[in-house]
Structure 1
Amino acid sequence: MSSSLALPARGGSRLAVLVVGLCWLVVLFDGLDMFIYGSVLPHMLETKALGIDPGKAGDVGSYATFGMLIGALSSGTVSDWVGRKKTIIVSTAVFSLASAVCAAAGSLGVFSLGRFLAGLGLGGLLPSAITLVSEYAPRGRGALIVGSLMTAHQAGGIVAGFVALWTGDWRVSFWICVIPLFIGVPLAAKYLPESMAFLQAKGRDAEALALADRYGVEPTARDGERPAAADRFGAVAALFRGGLWIQTVLFWLASFGGLLLVYGVSQWLPSLMKANGYNLGSSIGFVIVINLGGIVGMLVGGRLTDRFGGPRIAAIWFGATAVGVYTLSVRMPLPLTYTVVFLTGLFLFSAQAMIYATVAARSSDDNRATAVGWTSGMGRFGAVFGPWLGGQLLATGSTTAGFTAFAAAGLFSLVFVSLTGLRRVQPPATSGTRQELTATG
């Protein structure tokens, strides 16, 4: 049976809007915190704040993404254990408090620790939020809903660009990133409902019925007997049973290249463009424009994925990203450069989001968060490598090599995400497994 709400009635729509709206808000803050480092980095390098240089800046970026790796790998399993809501709240609190550590840092070591801690929260939030909204998504609209959620991430990037331009001070920028602790955390704690599919998978039917009654919806119907509650490691092992291991590994490899692209370009785009001859204001402006393109791409990509399948659309998107990123290595008139940056953003961020949407659609209720979390987590190895690689290439003074390396990552992901569409594997039959997939290969 579908893990979406059984009735698309007024109550179900109201509940879905509430879930997506609150998750959109916290993911906006996630995007702000993620992009703020890349937005203030050109100024930090110019003023040599905390003794930073391009090589050290790449290391700091990798510390953050290493924290995201740990957060993503653990959050899916923890979310399938304690619930989506608690994981979202704790993750938001962690990256907000970590921004305060960065803002008050008196040395690069303390600043690096703050970025690592922020990474733990940032990595933990996104898989849980994606899982929650996909479980409340109307049938046949899963990828569109995930894409809509991910527009918040790009909106956060836009806010980060404006914050960097407005404040002109990296410490003030990081203090602004503490705001989610006082807005996002209280709102999520009070209003965000737990996943109905999670409650049922854990045998907490009374809570699921109470939630359904509160919003006037029907709880999801279930087939057969409920499986015994899986331990925290059994859900991971389930990703490799039968022929699923091939699909799992392919998605992990595609996610590696996708997140190498996302985090490498996000951190180094302003600095690479500045080194390519553009002024500082234009370089930060590219962060805003690439995220505007990302918002459009999430909505367009989500709709096309629901219609044509995730692997097919993601492969096209990764190919277009590779072309766009490589084109940026060529010095062009400013209006044309902004156009290319916008189009690159349109494909760049949504390609990775469609991987998440497809994994969520192909997973069962009792291990969906684990599947999304581990896909994100294994991809974080690329997220760790991307910022480091960009720093090393920029330190050599070769901007062309940087753009070429990131373009190659797009082609890498194109190959592996295409392979996931060649063989469609049905997950093991468990109650709540989606029979009507939102994104098929």
Structure 2
Amino acid sequence: MSSRSLLPTAPAGRLAVRVVALCWLAVLVDGLDLFVYGAVLPGLLADDTFGLDAATAGDIGSLTTFGMLLGALSSGLLSDRIGRRPIILVGVALFSVASAGCALAPDATAFGAARFAAGLGLGGLLPTAISMVMEFAPQSHRNIAVTVLMTAHQAGGALAGSLARGIVEALGWRSVFWLGALPLVLVLPLLAALLPESITFQLARGRRDRADRAAARYGVDLADFTPAAVPDERTGLRGLFAPGLRRTTLLFWTGSFAGLLLVYGVSTWLPTMMRGAGYDLGSAVGFLVVINLGGIVGMLVAGRLADRFGARAVAVLWFALTAVAVGLLAVRMPLPLTYTVVFVAGAWLFSAQTLVYAAVGATYPARNRATAVGWVAGVGRLGAVAGPWVGGQLVAADASRWGFVVFAVAGVVGAVMVGLARPGRPARPVDPAEGSVSVPVH
């Protein structure tokens, strides 16, 4: 998909293409660093000199996820105070330096500390990049812009697997983490030179002079970014529980918990559960390619539909379809049909959670958007911790078929919670950055 078909070619549209492209690059290296641990884990466990066992490896994986939770929760609050751009730059710097720390780690303890630090950067970057893209993308293209951004995460995962297969055996697992440090010198300078600060953020913080200079520099109309004057508007975490938003916030949090439980549970245990159910799918890497390809296609389709029908409505449908597809995998089918179901499950699975972020960004006012997205991602990380644990318990109990049922139920819960997440009265004032209605329908 070309940038011309993604966004208008007016100055504001060209600036949006620039922001989407730069954030896509940042999220690509984010996804690469996130998935590289699982990709090199066989090599790590086979390295007798390092002394890592399976139990400790699992603890390190959970430690990384916990770091991501803290990063997501804190980044929203910080970016609504100091800006989106600094959080993205710090995130890339942090997980790149942490990757070098992993490459240099003398033992599992130091390695785990470095992965925790990487998690802080990884967790903070993604919701901030989503908020940045939503603020620059035109209203009519906002959802497709977010879903295009999220294809970078799936591409990063595929790249991590390809790199690991290609060089771990030849050069050792440490070499992959050295590659993970390269964004510090290759990507970070590019972002620092070309990524603008959010104009809406500058205006919301009363920095009119900086906003004027940015608008003149990029040839855009400042009115396209001017937030509504909202007297006594609540900001930060407190703003998520303003009148009319309390119930919506809790529903989105619950839906995100169910969504990430589903994503991480299925991603971690589906190949094992399918083998336990009697399938012979061959290489697990091949299965991961299929589900990630489905995820990339699903992102692009979901974004188009969300721009037409609303992110919240499509997220509800996608969660429901994911529940059906995952439930079907409990039924023995011919292998070609199984692969087809896995592909479409990936198409719905990953983009359903992405649409939750898009729906949250469209629901909350611009000055509170990064906090809202950061906290829905952070609370959802609790589901990311729970999903692999639930799947592991079921597999250990030789109840793989029940795993499909449990994860299908999570999809139903996600659909119901997001479907009910409508802002209540009183309606908040119009925010031109979000559209022309007081209460968004998605």
- Matched position secondary structure for 2:240: helix
- 1:434 deviates by 2.9
- 1:330 deviates by 5.5
- The reply to whether residue 90 of structure 1 matches residue 90 of structure 2 is yes
Q: Contact (CA 8 Å) 2:330, 2:401: kept in 1 or not?
A: yes
1:22-33 map, 5 Å? 22-33=22-33
- The reply to whether residue 194 of structure 1 matches residue 197 of structure 2 is yes
Q: Contact (CA 8 Å) 1:58, 1:392: kept in 2 or not?
A: no
Aligned to 2:385: 384
Name the CA distance, whole Å, in 1 between partners of 2:46 and 2:427.
Answer: 52
- Matched position secondary structure for 1:119: helix
Q: Contact (CA 8 Å) 1:365, 1:431: kept in 2 or not?
A: yes
Q: Contact (CA 8 Å) 1:321, 1:347: kept in 2 or not?
A: yes
Q: Which moved more, 1:67-76 or 1:161-170?
A: 161-170
Q: Contact (CA 8 Å) 1:100, 1:175: kept in 2 or not?
A: yes
Q: Contact (CA 8 Å) 2:139, 2:433: kept in 1 or not?
A: no
- 1:166 deviates by 1.8
Aligned to 2:412: 411
- 1:389 deviates by 3.0
- 1:42 deviates by 5.2
Match for 1:63: what amino acid?
L
Structure-2 change in CA distance of 1:110 and 1:57 (3 Å): same
Structure-2 change in CA distance of 1:430 and 1:316 (3 Å): closer
Q: Contact (CA 8 Å) 1:197, 1:220: kept in 2 or not?
A: no
- 1:29 deviates by 1.0
Q: Contact (CA 8 Å) 2:8, 2:14: kept in 1 or not?
A: no
Q: Contact (CA 8 Å) 1:52, 1:108: kept in 2 or not?
A: no
- Matched position secondary structure for 1:176: helix
When normalised by structure 2's length, the TM-score is 0.88
Aligned to 1:3: none
Aligned to 1:114: 114
Aligned to 1:205: 208
Q: Which moved more, 1:424-433 or 1:131-140?
A: 424-433
- 1:408 deviates by 2.6
Q: Which gives a bigger RCO, structure 1 or 2 (Cα 8 Å, sep 6+)?
A: 1
Aligned to 1:236: 237
**CA displacement, residues 300-355 of structure 1 (integer Å, 9 cap, x when unaligned):** 11111122222321122112222333444556555444322221110011101111
Structure-2 change in CA distance of 1:412 and 1:61 (3 Å): farther
Name the CA distance, whole Å, in 2 between partners of 1:397 and 1:42.
Answer: 24
Q: Contact (CA 8 Å) 1:59, 1:388: kept in 2 or not?
A: no
Aligned to 1:175: 178
Match for 1:191: what amino acid?
L
Name the CA distance, whole Å, in 1 between partners of 2:228 and 2:331.
Answer: 60
**CA displacement, residues 4-30 of structure 1 (integer Å, 9 cap, x when unaligned):** xxx966322221111000000010111
Q: Which moved more, 1:338-347 or 1:368-377?
A: 338-347
Structure-2 change in CA distance of 1:327 and 1:144 (3 Å): same
1:245-324 map, 5 Å? 245-269=246-270, 282-324=283-325
- 1:272 deviates by 5.0
Q: Contact (CA 8 Å) 1:32, 1:153: kept in 2 or not?
A: yes
- The reply to whether residue 220 of structure 1 matches residue 227 of structure 2 is no
- 1:98 deviates by 1.9
Structure-2 change in CA distance of 1:45 and 1:314 (3 Å): farther
Q: Which moved more, 1:182-191 or 1:397-406?
A: 397-406
Q: Contact (CA 8 Å) 2:227, 2:433: kept in 1 or not?
A: no
- 1:436 deviates by 2.9
Name the CA distance, whole Å, in 2 between partners of 1:60 and 1:270.
Answer: 22
Structure-2 change in CA distance of 1:427 and 1:353 (3 Å): farther
Name the CA distance, whole Å, in 2 between partners of 1:259 and 1:120.
Answer: 18
Aligned to 2:141: 141
Q: Contact (CA 8 Å) 2:262, 2:387: kept in 1 or not?
A: yes
Match for 1:373: what amino acid?
G
Structure-2 change in CA distance of 1:329 and 1:99 (3 Å): farther
Q: Contact (CA 8 Å) 1:35, 1:267: kept in 2 or not?
A: no
Match for 2:284: what amino acid?
S
Name the CA distance, whole Å, in 1 between partners of 2:183 and 2:15.
Answer: 23
**CA displacement, residues 98-125 of structure 1 (integer Å, 9 cap, x when unaligned):** 2223333343333322222121111100
- The reply to whether residue 360 of structure 1 matches residue 358 of structure 2 is no
Structure-2 change in CA distance of 1:298 and 1:207 (3 Å): same
Name the CA distance, whole Å, in 1 between partners of 2:266 and 2:90.
Answer: 28
- Matched position secondary structure for 1:366: helix
Q: Percent same amino acid among aligned pairs?
A: 52
For structure 2, which runs of at least 5 residues remain unmatched after alignment? 1-6
**CA displacement, residues 272-308 of structure 1 (integer Å, 9 cap, x when unaligned):** 5676777897201222221111111111111111222
- 1:432 deviates by 5.2
1:14-25 map, 5 Å? 14-25=14-25
- 1:96 deviates by 1.7
Name the CA distance, whole Å, in 1 between partners of 2:281 and 2:101.
Answer: 26
Q: Which moved more, 1:150-159 or 1:308-317?
A: 308-317
- Matched position secondary structure for 1:141: helix
**Cα RMSD, aligned residues only:** 2.9
Structure-2 change in CA distance of 1:227 and 1:297 (3 Å): same
Name the CA distance, whole Å, in 2 between partners of 1:277 and 1:329.
Answer: 10
Name the CA distance, whole Å, in 2 between partners of 1:381 and 1:153.
Answer: 19
- 1:92 deviates by 1.1
Structure-2 change in CA distance of 1:426 and 1:356 (3 Å): farther
Structure-2 change in CA distance of 1:223 and 1:307 (3 Å): closer
Match for 1:105: what amino acid?
A
Q: Contact (CA 8 Å) 1:39, 1:284: kept in 2 or not?
A: no
Aligned to 1:130: 130
Name the CA distance, whole Å, in 2 between partners of 1:8 and 1:123.
Answer: 31
Name the CA distance, whole Å, in 1 between partners of 2:138 and 2:356.
Answer: 19
- 1:164 deviates by 2.6
